[in-house]
Every structure is written in C-alpha cells, then in structure tokens.
Chains A and B, each alone.
Chain A
Amino acid sequence: MTEVTTGMVPVDPGSTAWMLVSSALVLLMVPGLALFYGGLVRRKNVMATMLQSFVALGVIGVQWIVIGYALAFGPSLGGWIGWDPSLVGLVGLPYTRNFADKAIPELVFVMFQGKFAIITPALISGAVAERMKFSSYVLFVLLWTTFVYCPLAHWVWAPGGWLFQYGVLDFAGGTVVHISSGFSALALAILIGPRRDYRPGHTAILPHNLTLTMLGAGLLWFGWFGFNAGSAVAAEHPVAGYTAGLAFATTQSAAAAGALTWLLIEWWHQRRPTSLGLVSGILAGLVAITPAAGHVIPASALLMGALASACCYSAVQMKQRVGYDDSLDAFGVHGVGGLVGALLTGVFCFTPVAGLVMGGGVSQLVKQAVGAGVAIVFAVAGTCVIALALKATLGLRATDEQERDGLDVTVHGERAYHQVISS
C-alpha cells in the first residue's frame, strides 16, 4: 500500500531500506559508547558510567518525538530555529509523507536524526565520568539537546539553516556532533572540577576492564557506517547511492589510518603498542572523517585519519600539563578530532565544491573555520549557562562520600560485578 502525496518523488526502496538499517546502526553506537566508556572507569563506577550513555536513549528518545525534531528540522524561522506546531509530538506528520525533496519517508529521517541527537550528549559524559550528580546529568542532557544541539543541527543541516546557506559542509556531524559535544565536554569538565582522586603523578586512576573498551570501539566503528553512509541520503538527491558508497569507503579508510597512526606513535613514544591506543586512534579517525565522509576521496580520508590521530594523541598528552580532568578524553578525541576534521574538509573536499588542495582556493576552508568557530562559541556558551544554572540549583557533583565509595552502590544501588562465593 504505497500512497504517495502528489508533487513528491516516489519512495525509493533501496534508500529507504538503507536508512532504516542506518538508523538501527547508529542506535548500536550507544551501547558501543557505554562499553567503551564503561571499561575505562574504575570498578565502582561502571554502571553509573554506562547508564550515562544509555539514559540518553530514554530522555532524548522522548524529547526528539515531543519537540526535538520540530526544533531541528521544522520549517526554518529565519535560519535560526525550526518550528511547526504540527511537528510537536509528530502528531501532524503523515506517515506517508516524504522528507523534503528526498525519496524516503520523513518518519525514517526523523528516526535517523533522532539517533544522532541521542548519542551526541552521551559523548559529553566521558568528560565528567565518576563524579557528576545523576539528576543534574539527566537535566543537562535534556536542556543541552534542546537549547544547543537542536539549534546547531538546524543551522548546519536544515535546508534553511544559516550556516547551511552560508555553505558550511558537515556531512554527518563533525561540527554538529563532535565539535559541539567535545568542546561542551571541556567546558563542563572545567566547571565541575576534577575527580577527588585525580592527582596526576600521584595516585593513578586506571581503567578497570579494557576488554569492554575494545568491544565498544568495535561496535562504534560498525555503527559509524550507518552514521556516515546513512547521511548520504540528506546529501544526494533524490536517492542515496554513489555518495553512500563514497562515505562508507572514506569512513573505513580514515578509521584504519587513525588506528595505525596512534599505534605507531605510541609505540615510538612510549615503547609499547597498546590496545587502548589502537582503539583511540580508530575513534580519532572516525570523528575526523565524519564531516567529510561524502566530500573527499578515500586517499584523502587516509591522510585525514592519520593527521587527526596525531593531533588527538598530542591533545591527550597536553591534558596533564594543563590540569583539567577530561576523564575519558571526550574533548581530546571528539573536540580535537572534530575540529581537525571540519577544517580538513575544506582542504580535501572535491564535491560539491573543491577544497584547498583540489584547486578550489581557501574559500571553503574559511567557511569550515567559521562553522567550527560558531559551533565552539555557541556550544561552550550554552554549556556554561546550563551548567551554572544547574550548579546554583541542584549542584553538579555527587557528594564526596558517593564519589569516594563509588556511584554504582551509593547512587544506583547496583554493583557491576559480584564476587561469586556461591551460586
């Protein structure tokens, strides 16, 4: 029963099927992130940390239907925000309507974008792991997505958004997802302060289970194919095909180059090829290619992944000297990798415009820098306002006793692991 409203291109089965799969793939990145972060914290905070990723599935899963999609992708009010009362709760959205001029149902696009809105605030949790008050975190996620993510997504991705009109390229969220979450993570980590046990050079806080982290990184890589190659539908008119293939190939290339680069740098710098290093490099490469996935060739993706990996490695080394406690390197990987990727997109892009080394001059690079700068200022300002308001009311931190004894037992009443004495 295909009922197509007049004036629209017919639904394309291939694109629709791929977008349904992509939406599910992006969802899989949330448990992937939970495992990635969960392995990096101490045994006493495993459930609290994994829950910080998972809770976004609930909070933003609801927010997106109720109001988030309307704000981000509703008809544009002057390029600043979307709005359409009929999109509140999606009640006025017929399930047979296509998205804009594309050949997929709009509901599929709503779901795909909703997964992005879910994982973005969850990325921030890595910077404040093991100490943030749960109620404040939940409110922060809700407010941040509504007042920072939704407007930014509108500016960059909605056809009427002002940064979109200006010509900023952000294929799958280098600016909207990674710069915004990474720089917000840095701001929040500084506002909330370091963990009580964070004393570099004295007691070390060590990951409790890197096998979880490895598995999480694998799931993130897998899900990222949906994230990037799924985003082709928004870029290619009216169906996704060649661009999806390009995004898939560049995603694979950048992740591999990022992994290899980090492994080699750390092997040279610390005389040890480490597992955490390899997976950190995978993430750095994936983050960097996100804004460029459908705009560069695979060879450029190799370079972008390698460069981003080297920059993220350096950023993480700087952390100790500067002294903030970005616990799981949300800024070091997503903020830095996102910024590098956004700028390099203006260097290596060949479609729809030519970048710096493709004979297009500096104009796209300038646009990318403007887009990144706007996202940084807006995300940091929004984060500071929300976090300071929460600090003045609910407080941002768990109590000192809760932090010392572990959030799992004291806040959530759960333990990740039990010593098995009897079955």
Chain B
Amino acid sequence: MKLITAIIRPERLEAVQFELQGVLDEGDHYRISVETVEGHGRQEGEVEIYRGQRLRAGLVEKLKLTLGVNEHYVEKAIEAIVRGARTGQVGDGKIFISSLEDCVRIRTGERGGTAI
C-alpha cells in the first residue's frame, strides 16, 4: 500500500479526476481527499495584474490530493495524475509517494488492503 500525495494546479483538478476515474474506478468510486494549500516551489508564485502593475504573489494556491492505493494501482494512479495535471509550465506541482503501514475502515473495522 502506498500513500500518494500530489500537489497540483487548482484548475487541473477536474482533468486529474477524469484520469483517475479511468484507471481506479472499477464499478465503485475511487477514494480521494482534496485540500487547498498555499506554497511555492520553482514557480515562486503567479504574476497577477493590479491597476497596471505586475505583482508576484509570494505563495501560490495549489490543491493537495491524498490517495491511499494498493500496490497494483500505484503506477497507474501516478501516471493518471501526471496526465491530468501536466501543462509543461513551471508550477505543475509534485507527487510524493510513501509507504502506507496500515489502513482502517471506520464503519466495519476492516484493516489493510481491503479497507483502502
């Protein structure tokens, strides 16, 4: 099991969701959490225009997606996120993959891969 954490452009959420649906949905809806975050990487903020002046925001708004996936789906999910989120410009974001020790479905008490 892996925990996939992806930082993406907010305007790419729908594209990423569409791609993830294509690879993760098997009759049943895939699981995802989305948070709004602010940060900066090489993009160093977006340029915005206010009263004729170009200003660069220090922190730029991004979305953080969190998905727990079983081994079989890890690569598919990563590829799907990249397909949906890539524009080719600086600021497309990052994907972090970490190993996931365990998982509990609160409703039933199931553990591990079946709970994910």
Contacts and interface: CB of A to CB of B under 8 A. Distances in A.
Interface bin, chain A:
20 to 34
A203 B58 CA distance: 6
Interface in B33-85: 45, 48-58
Nearest to B58: A203
A272 interface: yes
A316 to B, nearest CB: 5
B48 to A, nearest CB: 7
B53 A316 contact: yes
B53 to A, nearest CB: 7
Contact of B51 (A203, A204, A276): A276
B52 A206 contact: no
Contacts of B53: 316-317, 320
B58 A316 contact: no
B52 A317 contact: yes
A30 B55 CA distance: 29
A277 B57 contact: no
Interface in A245-297: 265-266, 269-270, 272, 274, 276-277, 280
Interface string A187-210: 000000000000000011111000
A224 interface: no
A206 B52 CA distance: 13
Contacts of A266: 49, 51-52
Nearest to B53: A320
B57 to A, nearest CB: 6
B51 A316 contact: yes
Contacts of A207: 50
A204 B52 contact: no
A313 interface: yes
A317 B53 CA distance: 7
A270 B52 contact: yes
A272 B51 contact: no
B55 A204 contact: yes
A277 B48 contact: no
A274 B58 contact: no
A9 B54 CA distance: 58
Q: At the interface, is chain A mostly helix, strand, loop or mixed?
A: helix
A86 B51 CA distance: 48
Contact of B49 (A203, A205, A265, A274): A274
A272 B50 contact: no
Contacts of B49: 266, 270, 272, 274, 277
A274 B52 CA distance: 9
B35 to A, nearest CB: 12
Contacts of A313: 51-52
B71 to A, nearest CB: 34
Nearest to B56: A204
B55 A269 contact: no
A329 interface: yes
A329 B53 CA distance: 12
A320 B53 CA distance: 9
Nearest to B45: A204
Contact of A277 (B51, B55, B56, B58): B51
Nearest to A206: B57
A301 B79 CA distance: 59
Contacts of A204: 45, 48, 55-58
Contact of B52 (A203, A205, A277): A277
Contacts of A280: 51
A274 B56 CA distance: 16
Interface string A316-341: 11001000000001001000000000
A276 B52 CA distance: 10
In this complex, which of A270, A277, A329 has the most chain B Cβ atoms within 10 angstroms of its Cβ?
A270
A243 B33 CA distance: 62
Contacts of B57: 204, 206
29 contacts: A203-B58, A204-B45, A204-B55, A204-B56, A204-B57, A204-B58, A205-B55, A206-B48, A206-B50, A206-B55, A265-B52, A266-B52, A269-B52, A270-B52, A270-B54, A272-B49, A274-B49, A274-B50, A276-B50, A276-B51, A277-B49, A280-B51, A313-B52, A316-B51, A316-B52, A316-B53, A317-B52, A320-B53, A332-B51
Interface of B: 45, 48-58
Interface of A: 203-207, 265-266, 269-270, 272, 274, 276-277, 280, 313, 316-317, 320, 329, 332
Given A204-B57, A266-B51, 19 more contacts: A204-B45, A204-B48, A204-B55, A204-B58, A206-B48, A206-B57, A207-B50, A270-B54, A272-B49, A274-B50, A276-B50, A276-B51, A277-B51, A313-B51, A313-B52, A316-B51, A316-B52, A320-B53, A329-B51
9 closest cross-chain pairs (CB), A and B:
A204-B55, A316-B51, A270-B49, A272-B49, A203-B58, A317-B52, A266-B52, A204-B56, A206-B57
